[in-house]
Amino acid sequence: MFQLSPIKMKNQFISILLFLFIPFDWLAYANTQIPVITVPFENFSLLPNAIVKANYSFGDHPMIFCFDNTLQTQGRIQWPYHGQIKSSSLPIFLKDNSNFDGQFADLNGVIKITNTTSATLIVNCQFGF
């Protein structure tokens, strides 16, 4: 008959406890992909601590307005400008023209919006004239 030593039994017991009591959220996190959408977009639900990326190109539009549905200052947005990543909170006007208020951004690129709150954010990015 096969018998385990007390040390091996203790190690197996600890392994079983770890398996039962350690959450495996990190596995789900490692397998989740950040959604990539395109500006303009409306009413995108962003869960707490979640991220969405959005491709943009100003084209014929001089500005992009990104905001959440409450128009409160919350969440983070990042965008490229002259080889640097700029960052601010929502709401924000991004622009490619000095005739408008807002923050300068590259003519095209990818913005990243992060929900830094404990509630779901409904975010939007629209072109402006």
- Structural tokens at position 64: 């992009």
Does any domain span residue 44?
Answer: yes
Total tally of structural domains belonging to the chain: 1
Residue 71 lies in a domain: yes
At position 11, the amino acid (one-letter code) is N
Instruction: Examine residue 42 and state whether it is found in any structural domain, yes or no.
Output: yes
Cα of 121 vs its chain's centroid, Å: 11
pLDDT band at 106 (very low <50, low <70, confident <90, very high): very high
Indicate which CATH number applies to the domain containing 78.
2.60.120
Contacts of 71 (CB under 8 A, 6+ apart): 91
Instruction: Return phi, psi of residue 67, to 5°.
Output: -160, 165
What pTM value is reported for the model? 0.74
Tokens 């709401």 belong to which residue? 91
Residue 26 domain-assigned? Answer: no
**Residue 41 burial (CB count, 10 A):** 15
> Can you give the residue range of the structural domain that contains 97?
33-128
Tokens of 59: 């084209």
Within a domain: residue 12?
no
Per-residue pLDDT tens digits for 25-54: 433 344 468 899 999 999 999 999 999 999
**Per-residue pLDDT reduced to its tens digit, 7-30:** 554 555 444 443 444 443 433 344
Within-domain flag for 118: yes
Domain membership flag for residue 19: no
Is 109 a domain residue? yes
Write out pLDDT tens, residues 109-129.
Answer: 999 999 999 999 999 999 988
